[in-house]
Amino acid sequence: MKTEIKIAWRYLFAKKQYNAIHIISGISAAAVGVVTAAMVCVLSVMNGFGTMVEQMFSQFNPDIRITATTGKSFNTAGDTFDELHNLSCVQMVSQTIEETALIQFEEKQMPIRLHGVDTIFPYITQIENIITEGHYEVYDGAFDRAVLGRGLAWKVGIGARFINAIHVYTPKRTAKVNMLRPDQSFNHETCFIAGTFAVQQAKYDDEVMLVDIDFTRRLLDYDSCEVTALMVKLAPNTSVRQAKKNIQQLLGEEFQVLDRYEQQEDFFKILRIEKLLTTILLIFILLIASFNIIGALSMLIIDKKVDIRTLSHLGANESMIRRIFLFEGWMISTLGAIIGLIIGLVICLLQEHFGILKMGTGTEYILSAYPVAVQASDILLVACIVLVLGVITAWIPAKQISIKNENN
């Protein structure tokens, strides 16, 4: 095996009868390098967007979210939930009630997602870091306050400095609809805006209004221990997977225990599918680029007919001679892969530290430059794909070598 590698190495850099072979080999390595660098950059940018979105959701979503498997609400009274607070992996637990409601501000009406939160909510999430106007406050000791998503506030036409009340309506839990007086079938409460927030996700910014949990209980006729979800903040340096397992064992199958990814499962699944499809597309491009290796090896085999005949006379069999050219094709791919990986990593590092490629200017852009996150698993995947395709494309011309034909 060492002999074949040494001969292949010498053939790679040795003077050839036709200069075109050097040119095609160089083009083959360059093409593989360019596509390899492109794969590294594209996958790193997609990782960067995934990390960015995860950070956005982490500002509003808890580490762990607990909901009832069946039904909308559940009661938190009992020893089981007391034990939940005492788990070593749990730092704090917040109660929340979420329901669809109708709000009215002056002449405008709009359905919203009402989130009733307790005093622990700001410590579970990073809501205070994403306030865009006013401040975070859901009760000031005298009046109920509300914090609206920035998009929702714009649709309703309200700002943090407005003093007019927001009217909130929800259907009464047990009352029948009175067709003569339909207003009697709804619970009604008023609150005043304290501020607006922006998660940079339409499902929150355009639909959610945060209010005090007691405000929501009055609207929905819930008792003091009834909630629709519990939000859990894990203790530092806690394994999310292990914490989720411990909480699930404690609560049983009656409850769903969701980590941050599962809370936004559809969104992250779309990101994974996009990354997979992009990888497949780049593999096809790499495969086309690798076809140059077939041409380069085919011309090299023709150029080395005399050497092949000499090696066969010295006792080399077809398998050994094929391995020589197989290794040479693999070396071309390896050279291109190394160059491409280096270029791709350099570009990613420059982008990460200096933000060379800009997304644009203006308030519609969340970031000024494309985010980048290099993952070792992606680098290893790209390297393996390039090397495997290099072996496959090198084997196609190498297997055509026949000592009998060369001796004739």
Four-CA torsion 294, 296, 297, 301, nearest 10 degrees: 130
Geometric angle at alpha carbon 80, from 75 and 82, rounded to 5°: 90
Indicate if 126 and 249 belong to the same structural domain: yes
pLDDT computed for residue 316 by the predictor: 73
Indicate if 129 and 205 belong to the same structural domain: yes
| b/e 374-396 (16+ beta carbons within 10 angstroms → b) | beeebbeebbebbeebbbbbbbe
Indicate if 255 and 132 belong to the same structural domain: yes
Name the pTM for this structure. 0.75
Indicate if 68 and 183 belong to the same structural domain: yes
pLDDT computed for residue 277 by the predictor: 92
Domain contains 273: no
Domain contains 277: no
Report which of 293, 301, 316, 291 is spatially closest to residue 17, judged by C-alpha positions.
Answer: 301
Domain contains 356: yes
Domain contains 274: no
Indicate if 50 and 68 belong to the same structural domain: no
- CA atoms of 132 and 135, how far apart (whole Å): 8
Q: Is 78 left (phi over 0), alpha (psi -120 to 50) or beta?
A: left
pLDDT computed for residue 29 by the predictor: 85
Indicate if 148 and 256 belong to the same structural domain: yes
Domain contains 289: yes
Say whether 1 sits in a helix, a strand or coil: coil
Indicate if 252 and 103 belong to the same structural domain: yes
Say whether 63 sits in a helix, a strand or coil: coil
Structural domain containing residue 70: 64-263
- CA atoms of 220 and 57, how far apart (whole Å): 27
Say whether 355 sits in a helix, a strand or coil: coil
Where do the H-state alpha helices sit in 304-375?
Answer: 305-313, 318-354
Domain contains 272: no
> How many domains is the chain built from?
2
Domain contains 82: yes
Domain contains 180: yes
pLDDT computed for residue 175 by the predictor: 64
Ordered mean pLDDT values, 10 residues apiece, the chain (408 residues): 69 60 79 92 90 82 93 89 92 95 91 95 92 92 93 90 90 69 79 92 92 94 92 93 94 92 86 90 87 78 73 74 80 89 94 81 64 92 90 82 57
Report which of 63, 199, 62, 65 is spatially closest to residue 129, judged by C-alpha positions.
Answer: 199
